[in-house]
């Protein structure tokens, strides 16, 4: 266990925004996250939580520093390799569900599998299985517009999990939901984490939820303090 | 091909943009196919009427200073022996005045051998009153253009005087009227070849020899060989109409520029629609990227959309173009008969190849105009795209 390399490793990772004035949204972040960990990221608004998540999720590129995923330096990869990793290794859940409005719940969950080149049949089986897992077996043919916020968020979680990613990222996945639904979704994430030994990194403002995590990372003004 | 699936879904869910983009392409294709039908119909008609209304070859004196062909019998015989020649007709062309009561008109007084002229020019088709063949046994008979007869106020059966300085004024009986639908109807008078020769005191000469050939497109070659063998001047119909034919070429350049502009407008229409779709779907593009869709695949999604819009537009446009062409064909638009070689209706021609061309270019234009919006979509920054409202 100890000599196994971490799933995610940040070395002096920095993101600077330059809109006339220089702004360090993430400042020299160093961090190791081990396989199967459930990590909570907390910090005040504007502290750089989303910035960090976008960098780890390969949605954004750092200004300097190194990011290793599964031991590979992802900052030097081509668009094709990065989008391949987004598809197969990473699963992202946003604060807002961000489902494709023209597609049904089932089709939304199937989409990453189709992008990966899986057959329709295979994709459908996996997607149905996952939607059952998040408690939506009766709602598969509904479009996002016909589902509640909590239901859509569960579809988004099923979608993030569809390609069996080794890392699942959630940027305030329960932020838009009422406490009861939020707790339920949190429980779901925790259960999936234990069942499949996937690595979870979740941003939350809820200290109580954070306290249940394996590790809490605090961000203040773009700087990390690991607890 | 999930890219195609997404493209189809997005096209069908943005109904208004889709409809307008398809209509833009359809309209362009419609206009172009109808134009093509008109222009190729018009050009064909022009060539056909040049071939039909003019002798395929006209043999004239060697030198412009000379007025007549002296050995016309020999030349006619020689020419009619040539391969590809169907008929020859020597003619005497003179200027004279026709007088009837108080009316007088200047005319082109033409001496013809009715049989020979008929086999070269098929003029009996234009005879609207009387009979061309009456001329064979009527030494002082004349056929007049119908407009000319109207101006002189003469009818078939009346006698007109032919007047020319130095010639004996001779009375001819009107035995028929001719209507070709061209301005020739105002000035033409046909009489027997020998009568006209005698009238002008020039027995034994002809002004021209007209030739009909089996294949009009061989006329140039045959004319050349006549010139070589007889030493006379021989002009084919295409040489005689060279100006019109080169005008057609200039016209087709202009028309192509026009097509190009229409396609350009349609192309900008498509590009504009796609830019709007990309703008509206910015967030979805970001989501697709977050799920692992590569730049290349995003490009494909939008290129597919432009192809779908283009394909639907060109199918609709081709159908509309065909219907419009057929409708215009059956609707006989009267244009002044003198304007174009006696055409009475718009000559539209349904040429399947033209539809293929129009559709093909429309499709190319579509793909080209899809490139910019597709690139724009592919280059979107995923975080900004997702966070855009
Ligand atoms: N594109 C950008 N250009 C300039 N500054 C930016 C940009 N995106 C983010 N920032 C700034 O970077 C800082 C960190 O933003 P980030 O979104 O990571 O905060 P956060 O911790 O997720 O906050 P919240 O809890 O409100 O979501 C903020 O001060 C923000 O204004
Ligand atoms: Mg945030």
Position B343 scores a pLDDT of: 56
Could you tell me if A143 and A104 are in contact, meaning their C-beta atoms sit under 8 angstroms apart? yes
Q: From the CA of A181, how far away is ligand 1's center (Å)?
A: 26
Domain spans, chain B: 2-51+244-388, 57-236
For a pLDDT cut of 90, what percent of chain B falls above it? 48
Q: Residue B99 pLDDT > 80, yes or no?
A: yes
Residue A37's closest CA among A192, A201, A176?
A201
CA distance A81 to chain B (A): 9
Of A74-78, B292-296, B326-330, B336-340, least confident by mean pLDDT is B336-340
CB contact under 8 A, B292 and A83: yes
Cβ contact A102–B13 (<8 Å): yes
User: pLDDT for A55-83, tens place per residue?
Assistant: 999 999 999 999 999 989 998 899 999 99
User: What are the structural domain ranges in chain A?
Assistant: 8-226
B17 vs A contacts (CB less than 8 Å):
none
Percentage, residues of chain A above pLDDT 90: 70
Instruction: Quote the CA–CA distance of B32 and A8 in Å, as a whole number.
Output: 60
CATH superfamily of A8-226: P-loop containing nucleotide triphosphate hydrolases (3.40.50.300)
Which pLDDT does position A189 carry in this prediction?
Answer: 87
What is the Å distance from ligand 2's center to A203 Cα?
8
**A163 neighbors A87 (Cβ within 8 angstroms):** yes
CA–CA gap between residue B271 and residue B373 (Å, rounded): 7
User: Given an 8 Å threshold on Cβ–Cβ distance, is A86 in contact with B383?
Assistant: no
**A227 pLDDT more than 70:** no
For B60-69, what is the mean pLDDT?
84
Q: How many CA atoms lie within 13 A of B342 on its CB side?
A: 14
Tell me: the pLDDT tens digits for A10-46? 999 999 998 888 899 999 999 999 999 999 999 999 9
Q: Which residues of chain B from 6 to 25 reach within 8 Å of chain A, CB to CB?
A: 6, 9-10, 13
Name which of A94, A102, A115 is nearest B292 (Cβ-Cβ).
A115
Mean pLDDT of B306-329: 90
pTM: 0.76
Residue B105 token pair: 């008109």
3-state helix, strand, coil in chain A (%, to 5): 40, 25, 35
Check residue A44 and give its pLDDT: 93
B86 contacts B119 by C-beta, under 8 angstroms: yes
Identify residues of A whose CB sits under 8 angstroms from chain B CBs.
54, 57, 59-60, 79-80, 83-88, 92, 94, 98-103, 111-112, 114-116, 159, 163
Residue nearest to atom 12 of ligand 1 (CA): A25
Contact (CB, 8 A) for A166 and A72: no
H and E: helices and strands count for chain A: 7, 10
The model's pLDDT over A133-159, given as tens digits with 9 standing for 90+, comes to 888 999 999 999 999 988 999 999 999
Q: Which two tokens stand for residue B275?
A: 């830019």
pLDDT bucket at A88, cuts 50 / 70 / 90: very high
Nearest by CB to A92, which of B6, B9, B290?
B290
d(CA A197, CA A195): 6
pLDDT digits over A163-220, tens only? 999 999 999 988 777 888 788 888 888 888 888 889 999 999 888 888 888 999 999 9
* pLDDT for B321 beyond 50: yes
C-alpha closest to that of A95 among A145, A157, A52: A157
pLDDT at A63: 94
Predicted local confidence at residue B249, as pLDDT: 82
Q: How far apart are CA B26 and CA B362, in angstroms?
A: 9
DSSP assignment, residue B256? H
Q: Is the CB of residue A51 below 6 angstroms from any atom belonging to ligand 1?
A: yes
Rg (CA), chain B: 32
Minimal-distance CA residue to ligand 1 atom 18: A48
Note whether B291 contacts A86, CB cutoff 8 Å: yes
Say what the pLDDT of residue B43 is: 80
Which among B284, B289, B292 is the nearest to A100, CB-wise? B284
At residue A1, the pLDDT reads 45
DSSP B61: -
List the beta strands (DSSP E) in A78-208: 90-93, 167-171, 199-203
Q: Are A3 and A35 in contact (CB under 8 A)?
A: no
Distance A51 CA to ligand 2 centre (A): 7
Cβ-defined contact of B382 to A59 (cutoff 8 Å): yes
Looking at residue B339, its pLDDT comes to 53
| Helix and strand numbers, DSSP H then E, in chain B | 13, 10
Rounded to whole angstroms, how far apart are CA atoms A11 and A176?
Answer: 32
- Among B157-171, B308-322, B339-353, the minimum mean pLDDT is found in B339-353
* Whole-number average pLDDT of chain B: 88
High-pLDDT (> 70) share of chain A, %: 97
3-state helix, strand, coil in chain B (%, to 5): 60, 20, 20
Question: Is some CB atom of chain A closer than 8 A to the CB atom of B293?
Answer: yes
pLDDT of residue B241: 82
Select the more confidently predicted residue: A108 or B273.
Answer: A108
Which tokens go with B164?
């020319």
Measured from the Cα of A26, ligand 1's closest atom is 14
A46 lines ligand 1 (CB under 6 A): yes
Centroid of ligand 2 to alpha carbon of A156 (angstroms): 17
| Share above pLDDT 70 across residues of chain B, in percent, rounded to a whole number | 96
From the CA of B19, how many Å to the nearest CA of chain A? Answer: 18
Chain A residues within 8 A of B383 when measuring between CB atoms: 54, 59-60
B312 CA: distance to closest CA in chain A (Å): 21
Atom of ligand 1 nearest to the CA of A15: 12
Contacts of A99 in chain B (CB under 8 A): 287
- Closest partner CB to A111 (pick from B2, B13, B386): B2
Distance in Å, alpha carbon of B369 to nearest chain A alpha carbon: 25
Q: Which residues of B touch A80 (CB under 8 A)?
A: 294, 296
At a CB cut-off of 8 Å and minimum separation 6, what does A97 contact?
A144, A149, A152, A153, A155, A156
CA distances from B277 to A60, A137, B222, B246, B293 (A): 24, 33, 63, 47, 18
Q: What tens digit of pLDDT does each residue of B159-215 get?
A: 999 999 989 999 999 999 999 888 889 999 999 999 999 999 988 899 999 999 998
Give the closest-approach CA distance of B291 to chain A in angstroms. Answer: 5
Atom of ligand 1 lying closest to residue A23 CA: 5
């Amino acid at each position: 266990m100890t000599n196994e390399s971490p799933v995610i490793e940040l070395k002096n990772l920095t993101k600077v925004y330059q809109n006339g004035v220089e702004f360090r949204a993430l400042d020299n972040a160093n961090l190791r996250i081990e396989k199967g960990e459930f990590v909570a990221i907390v910090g005040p608004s504007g502290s750089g939580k989303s910035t960090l998540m976008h960098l780890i999720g390969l949605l954004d590129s750092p200004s300097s520093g190194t990011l290793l995923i599964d031991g590979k330096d992802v900052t030097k990869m081509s668009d094709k390799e990065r989008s391949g990793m987004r598809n197969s290794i990473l699963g992202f859940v946003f604060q807002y569900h961000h489902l494709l409005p023209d597609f049904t719940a089932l089709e939304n969950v199937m989409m990453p599998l189709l992008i990966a080149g899986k057959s329709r049949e295979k994709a459908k089986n996996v997607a149905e299985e996952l939607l059952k897992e998040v408690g939506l077996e009766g709602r598969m043919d509904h479009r996002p517009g016909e589902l509640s916020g909590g239901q859509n968020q569960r579809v988004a979680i099923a979608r993030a999990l569809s390609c069996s990613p080794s890392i699942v990222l959630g940027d305030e996945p329960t932020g838009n939901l009422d406490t009861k639904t939020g707790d339920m979704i949190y429980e779901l994430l925790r259960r999936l984490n234990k069942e499949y030994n996937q690595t979870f990194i979740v941003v939350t403002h809820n200290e109580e939820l954070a306290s249940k995590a394996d590790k809490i990372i605090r961000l203040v003004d773009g700087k990390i303090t690991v607890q | 091909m999930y890219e195609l699936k997404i493209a189809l879904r997005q096209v069908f869910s943005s109904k208004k943009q889709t409809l307008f983009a398809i209509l833009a392409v359809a309209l362009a294709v419609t206009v172009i196919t109808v134009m093509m039908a008109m222009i190729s119909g018009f050009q064909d008609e022009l060539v056909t009427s040049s071939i039909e209304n003019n002798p395929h070859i006209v043999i004239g004196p060697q030198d412009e200073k000379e007025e007549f062909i002296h050995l016309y019998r020999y030349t006619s015989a020689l020419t009619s022996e040539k391969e590809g020649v169907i008929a020859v007709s020597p003619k005497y062309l003179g200027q004279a005045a026709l007088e009837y009561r108080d009316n007088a008109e200047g005319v082109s007084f033409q001496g013809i051998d009715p049989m020979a002229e008929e086999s070269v020019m098929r003029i009996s088709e234009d005879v609207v009153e009387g009979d061309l063949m009456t001329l064979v046994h009527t030494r002082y008979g004349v056929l007049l253009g119908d407009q000319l007869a109207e101006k002189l106020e003469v009818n078939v059966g009346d006698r007109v005087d032919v007047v020319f300085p130095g010639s004996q004024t001779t009375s001819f009986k009107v035995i028929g009227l001719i209507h070709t639908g061209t301005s020739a109807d105002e000035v033409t008078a046909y009489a027997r070849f020998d009568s006209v020769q005698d009238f002008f005191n020039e027995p034994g000469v002809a002004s021209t020899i007209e030739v009909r050939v089996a294949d009009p497109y061989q006329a140039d070659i045959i004319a050349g060989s006549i010139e070589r063998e007889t030493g006379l001047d021989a002009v084919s119909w295409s040489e005689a109409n060279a100006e019109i034919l080169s005008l057609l070429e200039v016209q087709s350049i202009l028309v192509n520029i026009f097509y190009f502009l229409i396609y350009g407008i349609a192309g900008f229409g498509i590009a504009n629609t796609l830019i709007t779709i990309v703008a509206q779907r910015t967030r979805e593009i970001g989501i697709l990227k977050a799920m692992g869709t590569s730049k290349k695949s995003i490009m494909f999604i939008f290129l597919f959309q432009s192809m779908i819009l283009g394909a639907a537009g060109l199918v609709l446009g081709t159908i509309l173009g065909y219907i419009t062409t057929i409708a215009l064909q059956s609707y006989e638009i009267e244009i002044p008969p003198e304007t174009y070689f006696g055409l009475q209706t718009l000559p539209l021609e349904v040429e399947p190849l033209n539809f293929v061309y129009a559709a093909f270019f429309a499709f190319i234009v579509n793909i080209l105009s899809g490139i910019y919006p597709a690139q724009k979509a592919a280059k979107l920054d995923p975080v900004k795209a997702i966070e855009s409202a």
